[in-house]
Structure 1
Amino acid sequence: MIRKRTNDNSFNRFQQSSLWQKCTNFRSLKQLHAFLIVNGLNSTTSVLRELIFVSAIVVSGTMDYAHQLFAQISQPDIFMWNTMIRGSAQTLKPATAVSLYTQMENRGVRPDKFTFSFVLKACTKLSWVKLGFGIHGKVLKSGFQSNTFVRNTLIYFHANCGDLATARALFDASAKREVVPWSALTAGYARRGKLDVARQLFDEMPMKDLVSWNVMITAYAKHGEMEKARKLFDEVPKKDVVTWNAMIAGYVLSRLNKEALEMFDAMRDLGQRPDDVTMLSILSASADLGDLEIGKKIHRSIFDMCCGDLSVLLSNALIDMYAKCGSIGNALEVFQGMRKKDTSSWNSIIGGLALHGHAEESINLFQEMLRLKMKPNEITFVAVLVACSHAGKVREGRMYFNLMKNVFKIEPNIKHYGCMVDILGRAGLLIEAFDFIDTMEIEPNAIIWRTLLGACRVHGDVELGRRANEQLLKMRKDESGDYVLLSNIYASQGEWDGVQKVRKLMDDGGVKKKDLFLFGYGHRNKHTDPAVVESVSVDHDF
Structure 2
Amino acid sequence: MFRKRIGFKPTLPNLKTLKQIHALMIINGFNNNVNFLGDLVLTISTSLVGPTATPTVTNYAHQLFAQIPQPDTFMYNVMIRGSSQSPNPLRAISLYTEMHRHFVKGDSYTFPFVLKACTRLFWVNTGSAVHGMVLRLGFGSNAVVRNTLLVFHAKCGDLNVATSLFDDSCKGDVVAWSSLIAGYARRGDLKVARKLFNEMPERDLVSWNVMITGYVKQGEMESARMLFDEAPVKDVVSWNAMIAGYVVCGLSKQALELFNEMCRAGVFPDEVTLLSLLSACADLGDLENGKKVHAKVMEISMGKLSTLLGNALIDMYAKCGNIKESLDVFWSITDKDVISWNSVIVGMALHGHGKESLSLFKMMQRTKICPNEITFVGVLVACSHAGEIDEGYKYFDLMSSEYKIEPNIRHCGCMVDMLGRAGLLKEAAKFIDSMKIEPNAIIWRTLLAACKVHGDVELAKVANEKLFSMRKDHSGDYVLMSNLYASRGEWDGAEKVRKLMDDSGVTKIRGSSFVEACN
TM-score normalised to structure 1 length: 0.82
Q: CA deviation at 1:437?
A: 2.5
Instruction: Name the amino acid aligned to 1:155.
Output: L
Q: CA deviation at 1:497?
A: 4.2
Q: State whether structure 2 residue 480 is matched by structure 1 residue 485.
A: yes
CA contact (8 A) 2:482 2:493 kept: yes
Deviations 1:212-268 (A, max 9, x none): 111112122333333433333333333322122222222323333343333323333
1:347 to 332, 342, 364: 342
Name the counterpart of 1:357: 352
Name the counterpart of 1:86: 84
Deviations 1:328-349 (A, max 9, x none): 2111111111111111111111
Deviations 1:407-442 (A, max 9, x none): 222233222222122122222232332333233333
Q: CA deviation at 1:353?
A: 1.3
Query: How does 1:326-405 map onto structure 2 within 5 Å?
Result: 326-405=321-400
Query: How does 1:29-178 map onto structure 2 within 5 Å?
Result: 29=15, 31-40=16-25, 43=31, 44-57=37-50, 59-60=52-53, 62-63=54-55, 65-67=57-59, 69-71=61-63, 73-75=66-68, 77-83=75-81, 85-88=83-86, 90=87, 98=93, 101-102=96-97, 105-106=100-101, 108-161=103-156, 163-172=158-167, 174-178=169-173
Moved more, 39-48 or 360-369: 39-48
Q: State whether structure 2 residue 214 is matched by structure 1 residue 219.
A: yes
CA contact (8 A) 1:52 1:70 kept: no
Aligned equivalents of 1:176, 1:441: Cα separation in 2: 59
Aligned equivalents of 2:286, 2:474: Cα separation in 1: 33
CA contact (8 A) 1:217 1:243 kept: yes
2:285 to 282, 287, 290: 290
Instruction: Name the amino acid aligned to 1:402.
Output: D
Flag structure 1 segments of 5+ consecutive residues without an equivalent.
1-7, 12-17, 24-28, 517-542
Q: CA deviation at 1:117?
A: 3.5
1:150–1:357 distance in 2 versus 1, CA, 3 Å:
farther
Q: CA deviation at 1:106?
A: 4.2
Instruction: Name the amino acid aligned to 2:20.
Output: F
Helix, strand or coil at the partner of 1:375: coil
Aligned equivalents of 1:506, 1:266: Cα separation in 2: 49
Query: How does 1:378-527 map onto structure 2 within 5 Å?
Result: 378-515=373-510
CA contact (8 A) 1:85 1:101 kept: no
1:179 to 167, 174, 179: 174
Instruction: Name the amino acid aligned to 2:58.
Output: A
CA contact (8 A) 2:208 2:231 kept: yes
Q: CA deviation at 1:102?
A: 4.2
1:104–1:346 distance in 2 versus 1, CA, 3 Å:
farther
1:501–1:164 distance in 2 versus 1, CA, 3 Å:
same
CA contact (8 A) 1:487 1:502 kept: yes
Aligned equivalents of 1:119, 1:411: Cα separation in 2: 42
Aligned residue pair count: 491
Name the counterpart of 1:539: none
Q: CA deviation at 1:124?
A: 3.7
Instruction: Name the amino acid aligned to 1:325.
Output: C
Query: How does 1:229-248 map onto structure 2 within 5 Å?
Result: 229-248=224-243
Q: CA deviation at 1:141?
A: 2.1
Aligned equivalents of 1:515, 1:425: Cα separation in 2: 27
Q: CA deviation at 1:104?
A: 5.2
Instruction: Name the amino acid aligned to 1:39.
Output: L
Aligned equivalents of 1:441, 1:156: Cα separation in 2: 48
Helix, strand or coil at the partner of 1:297: helix
Deviations 1:270-313 (A, max 9, x none): 43322211211222222223222211111112211221123211
TM-score normalised to structure 2 length: 0.85
Instruction: Name the amino acid aligned to 1:46.
Output: D
Q: CA deviation at 1:82?
A: 0.5
CA contact (8 A) 2:318 2:326 kept: yes
Q: CA deviation at 1:496?
A: 4.1
CA contact (8 A) 2:447 2:463 kept: yes
Q: CA deviation at 1:473?
A: 0.7
1:394–1:38 distance in 2 versus 1, CA, 3 Å:
same
Moved more, 498-507 or 363-372: 498-507
Flag structure 2 segments of 5+ consecutive residues without an equivalent.
3-8, 32-36, 512-519
Aligned equivalents of 1:370, 1:111: Cα separation in 2: 53
Name the counterpart of 1:210: 205
1:445–1:128 distance in 2 versus 1, CA, 3 Å:
farther
Deviations 1:153-205 (A, max 9, x none): 32223223363222211114742222111111111111122222111100101
Aligned equivalents of 1:168, 1:222: Cα separation in 2: 22
Name the counterpart of 1:526: none
1:126–1:79 distance in 2 versus 1, CA, 3 Å:
closer
Moved more, 370-379 or 482-491: 482-491
